[in-house]
Amino acid sequence: MVDNVAMSPNTTPADRYAVVGHPIAHSKSPTIHRLFAQATGQHIEYNAIESAPDAFADTLIRFVAQGGKGLNVTLPFKVEACELATDPMPSAVLAGAANCLAIRGDRIEAHNFDGKGLVTDIAQHHDTLLRGRRVLVLGAGGATRGALPALADAGPAVLAVANRTADKARDLQIHFAPHFALQAGGFEDLAGESFDLIINATSTGLSDQGLPLPPGLFAPGALAYDMVYGKGLTPFMRQAQEVGVTRLADGLGMLVEQAAEAFALWRGVRPPTADVIRALRG
Ligand code: ATR
């Protein structure tokens, strides 16, 4: 356990929550939930728990036995969290992964709020409604899979996925076909297309690698959104900037908004988020 924050001087024991991951030391979740608790007057304790890669089930069992009420789950445990839950909710089932568990007696409910957090951030903090717009997601890994159902729910005119390994994008198209239409292919299939919102969900935001984006991909006024945060201008954002895109966003707002969904589920109170995002940037 690397962080432990008691959130209020109340004398009754605080309900316990935590984020579990590997690694977890630099997680912003304890800070975010402390700020939410302060803003809403909720009396909670929120820790960061480091779990060995093969020990997530034990970590979860121990947390439940100790009376824990809820967990945020981050890499690499999101798929396992969904599998271990007794009650996976549709958002987790569709994504095949969970980032939030609510513990209710001997039941464990699993949700995936990553997509909802992304859509809320784009709508509320970047003034972009997706209804009727053309939306492209780059990458076809877990981050994309988690985001697609909420993006589809927002009603875009076109929802597309492009991936270096085109077959992985097509696998997502098949997986989601019963629920919504998805355009899928490789980067070369993007030639001649343009989009109002382009989301980078590849892991290149963590490296210095750019992506093979064809000319004209960004429609006038497009928003270029990179899911990573805390990296400044990523290679994808720089590529967008170089072709004249002025609306750039990182994933910090998505992180805060998915946390707000978890907090609202656990506590029945919706925390304010704009000040928390500002505080984290500061
Ligand atoms: P996550 O769970 O964060 O989505 P992941 O499942 O490992 O991580 O997926 C990483 C994504 O980044 C994949 O879509 C990967 O493309 P491939 O499926 O072709 O491997 C993409 N990616 C990683 N490095 C890349 C690069 N240099 N150029 C383009 N795409 C890259």
Q: What is the pTM of this model?
A: 0.94
* Portions of the chain given CATH number 3.40.50.720: 115-250
Contact predicate 254/114, CB 8 Å: yes
The verdict on whether 78 is a catalytic residue reads yes
Distance from C-alpha of 97 to C-alpha of 111, rounded to nearest angstrom:
8
**DSSP symbols for 42-65:** --EEEEEEE--TT-HHHHHHHHHH
CA–CA dist 8, 244 (Å, integer): 47
Q: Which of 203, 211, 236 to mutate to test the pocket of ligand 1 (most atoms within 8 A of CB)?
A: 203
C-alpha distances in angstroms, 152 versus 61, 125, 160, 269? 34, 19, 10, 26
* Cα 66 to middle of ligand 1, angstroms: 37
Could you report the per-residue pLDDT of 11-63, keeping only the tens digit for each?
Answer: 688 999 999 999 999 999 999 999 999 999 999 999 999 999 999 999 999 99
- CATH level 3 topology of 115-250: Rossmann fold (3.40.50)
Angle (CA) 24 137 18, round 5° = 20
Ligand 1 geometric centre to CA of 232 (Å): 20
Residue 167 makes CB contacts below 8 A (sequence gap 6+) with none
Is the Cβ atom of 22 under 6 angstroms away from ligand 1? Answer: no
Mark 98-111 as b/e (b = at least 16 C-beta within 10 Å). bbbbbbeeeebbbb
- pLDDT band at residue 9 using 50, 70 and 90 as cut-offs: low
Q: Which of 78, 116, 168, 231 is catalytic?
A: 78
Task: Take residue 217 and report the two structure tokens written for it.
Answer: 């991909």
Task: List, for residues 185-197, the tens digit of each pLDDT value.
Answer: 999 999 999 999 9
Would you say 221 and 240 are in contact if contact means Cβ atoms under 8 Å apart? no
CATH 3.40.50.10860, the chain: domain bounds: 2-112+254-281
CATH topology assigned to domain 2-112+254-281: Rossmann fold (3.40.50)
> Which residue do the tokens 């997509």 mark?
115
Check residue 3 and give its pLDDT.
46
Backbone phi and psi for residue 266, each to the nearest 5 degrees, phi listed first: -70, -40
CB 227 within 8 A of CB 251: yes
Q: Do β-strands 70-73 and 44-50 pair in parallel, antiparallel, or remain unpaired?
A: unpaired
Minimum CA distance residue for ligand 1 atom 23: 203
In the prediction, which pLDDT does 10 show?
Answer: 54
